[in-house]
Amino acid sequence: MGFRDPHGIRPLVFGKRHAGGDAYDYMLASESVCLTGLGFTIVGDVQPGECVLITKSGQVFRRLCVPSPQRWTPCLFEYVYFARPDSIIDGVSVYRARYVCNFGQRR
C-alpha cells in the first residue's frame, strides 16, 4: 500500500514489470530512477491524496482518499537537493528544473 499526502509535498511514483506469463511485479518509490533502474516501467505518479493498494494476487486498486485537496504544494527541496538529477517528478525533469533555476534568468 502506498499513499501520497493530500498536498503532494513528497513525490510517489508507481511502476510495474513483467514477471512471466500474465504476472507483473509492482513497485512504489519516491523517485522514477528507483523503478527504471530495476527494470520497471513507469505507470504514473500517485496523485495527491491518492492511495494505491496492491494485493498478493497482483490486483491493483487506486482510490482518491481526499476528494478535494486544498492545494498542490510539492516540496521545492525535492527538485533542488533530494532527488537525483535523472529523476522525473510529476512529469518534470529534475535536471531541467535545476538548469532553468540556475541559468534561465541569465540569458
Nearest Cα to Cα of residue 32 among 41, 24, 23: 41
Residue reference for cell 534568468: 105
Q: Measured between alpha carbons, how far is residue 53 from residues 33, 59, 84 in Å?
A: 21, 8, 26
pLDDT tens per residue, range 68-102? 666 778 888 888 888 999 999 888 899 988 888 77
Nearest Cα to Cα of residue 23 among 61, 53, 60, 51: 60
The answer to which of 34-43, 61-70, 76-85 has the lowest mean pLDDT is: 61-70
CA angle (12 as vertex; 10, 14 as ends), nearest 5: 175
pLDDT tops 70 at residue 104: no
Rg of the chain on CA atoms, in Å: 15
- State pTM to two decimals: 0.83
